[in-house]
Amino acid sequence: MRRNRSHRWPTPVILGATAALAASCSPGGDEAAAARDREQSRAEWKLVLEDGRELVLEQMNIFLTEESYPNIFETAGTDVTLVGTFPLGVTPDYEEAFERLIGETITIEARGGHPAEPKTSSIRLGGTVTPVTGGSLRVDRVSGKWAGSEGNKTLHGTFELHTAGGILRGRFGVHAVTFG
């Protein structure tokens, strides 16, 4: 099926696929171990600015697209929303093979994310919400063993955020989940 780029995913199709994928990605046989590991990993899910300030991250949702389009993402957390795209052809795909992202530069955009509910990239520092106009994430390692929404697969790396007030840099750790 050929799709118009401005309307990649019909809402009923993506919602159904998202629900089916979420149901199929439970940690599996040892839910107690998965829950324990997730809680331990949660301490790493944050942006840490060069000056030491920390902002909690909850999850990076990676929306898989057709091969001719880049995968898109949205990351949300306490006081931070980041959206953008992966390089064309770079994908963890349905098996959540996040090691494929190591060394790749992921583009942060001012606006994007899931096409049915676009979001604006921003960061709140000192009580003030500042728009993020661009930037990048670069993954340097992956940790965790449980895939899916209730898992603990974590991407770690560096970031650069472009704002009207200047460029912010630091490190990040975020729980990542794919949706198709």
What is the predicted pLDDT for the residue at 29?
58
Segment 145-168 mean pLDDT:
93
Residues 6+ away with beta carbon under 8 Å from 86: 62, 70, 71, 72, 73, 101, 104, 106, 107
Q: SS3 string of 154-180? A: EEEEEEEEEECCEEEEEEEEEEEEEEC
Segment 71-86 mean pLDDT:
96
Q: pLDDT category, 78, cuts 50, 70, 90? A: confident
On average, the pLDDT of the chain sits at 85
Is residue 152 scored above 60 in pLDDT? yes
Q: How many residues does this entry show for the chain?
A: 180
User: Distance (Å, rounded) from C-alpha 66 to C-alpha 93?
Assistant: 11
Q: pLDDT category, 58, cuts 50, 70, 90? A: very high
Segment 162-175 mean pLDDT:
96
Residues 6+ away with beta carbon under 8 Å from 95: none
What is the predicted pLDDT for the residue at 38?
82
Positive or negative, the Cα torsion across 134, 140, 98, 45?
Answer: negative
- Each residue's pLDDT tens digit, 85-137: 999 999 999 889 999 999 999 999 999 998 899 999 999 998 999 999 999 99
User: Distance (Å, rounded) from C-alpha 16 to C-alpha 49?
Assistant: 37
Nearest to 142 by CA among 60, 67, 49: 60
Query: What DSSP state is assigned to residue 99?
Result: G
Question: Higher confidence at residue 80 or residue 149?
Answer: 80
What is the predicted pLDDT for the residue at 33?
86
Is residue 16 scored above 70 in pLDDT? no
Nearest to 62 by CA among 39, 35, 83, 34: 83
Is residue 52 scored above 50 in pLDDT? yes
In the chain, what percentage of residues exceed pLDDT 70? 84
